[in-house]
């Protein structure tokens, strides 16, 4: 079976650029994650791993879409090779394990060498991005412009707990609840959906 894997770092990013070459490669099923590549604990990636079997081929458009941690990339790659699952990195033709099926020694040599170099590059790029983020935040703080991330409420925090109680009782309007508790309308609605709270009429 030919399986494709695509990943973008956030829900706002578009994965279309990766999907076109995966479809052109003949992938019968494509898994898409909209999560960070800092590790392999990703929903769709783990679903894909459970589906992959001996003789399958995994297609990824770019090594950076596969992951951004050097050691973990190497471990994942080695595990796929042990299961005799081929891997094809479409924008790097040398990383196509199908080419070396009859040359196991060469396959390991080429894969290990190129993958080590590329995964190191990916890892360094990740570190560079993080360092630039830190520098940007430091500059923004120094200029008094950095506000940090918005507060994420849980149902156990007093303000959210109060907002949920008022919502459930139905004694205050949504606008009144947000003014009293300072919990945003969309945040409140999201938590209500998550917890399945019903508002009294």
pLDDT of residue 155: 47
pLDDT of residue 106: 66
pLDDT of residue 124: 67
pLDDT of residue 122: 66
10-residue mean pLDDT series, the chain (201 residues): 90 82 95 85 92 95 79 82 89 83 68 67 66 69 62 60 84 86 85 80 66
pLDDT of residue 145: 59
How many other C-beta atoms lie within 10 A of the C-beta of residue 188? 21
pTM for this structure? 0.56
pLDDT of residue 175: 87
- In the numeric block, which tokens belong to residue 141? 């703080």
Q: What one-character DSSP code corresponds to residue 11?
A: T
pLDDT of residue 25: 95
pLDDT of residue 166: 86
- Annotated active-site residue 9? The verdict is yes
pLDDT of residue 125: 66
Nearest residue to 189 (alpha-carbon basis) of 158, 146, 156, 153: 153
How many other C-beta atoms lie within 10 A of the C-beta of residue 123? 17
Q: Are strands 2-8 and 57-60 parallel, antiparallel or unpaired?
A: parallel
CB 30 within 8 A of CB 23: yes
Nearest residue to 6 (alpha-carbon basis) of 48, 85, 66: 66
pLDDT of residue 196: 78
CB 97 within 8 A of CB 81: yes
pLDDT of residue 54: 94
Distance in angstroms (rounded) separating the CA atoms of residues 30 and 5? 6
């Amino acid at each position: 079976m030919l399986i494709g894997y695509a990943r973008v770092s956030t829900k706002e990013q578009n994965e279309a650029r990766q999907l076109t070459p995966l479809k052109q490669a003949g992938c019968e099923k494509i898994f898409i994650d909209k999560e960070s590549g800092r590790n392999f604990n990703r929903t769709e990636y783990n679903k894909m791993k459970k589906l992959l079997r001996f003789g399958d081929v995994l297609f990824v458009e770019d090594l950076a879409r596969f992951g951004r941690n050097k050691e973990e990339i190497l471990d994942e790659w080695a595990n796929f090779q042990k299961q005799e699952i081929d891997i094809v990195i479409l924008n790097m033709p040398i990383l196509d394990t199908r080419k070396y099926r009859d040359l196991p020694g060469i396959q390991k040599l080429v894969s290990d060498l190129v993958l080590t170099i590329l995964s190191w590059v990916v890892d360094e790029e990740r570190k560079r991005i993080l360092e630039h983020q830190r520098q940007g935040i430091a500059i923004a703080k120094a200029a008094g412009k950095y506000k940090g991330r918005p507060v994420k409420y849980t149902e156990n925090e007093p303000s959210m707990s109060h907002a949920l109680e008022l919502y459930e009782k139905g004694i205050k309007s949504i606008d009144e609840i947000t003014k009293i508790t300072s919990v945003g309308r969309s945040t409140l609605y999201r938590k209500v959906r998550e917890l399945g709270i019903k508002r009294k009429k």
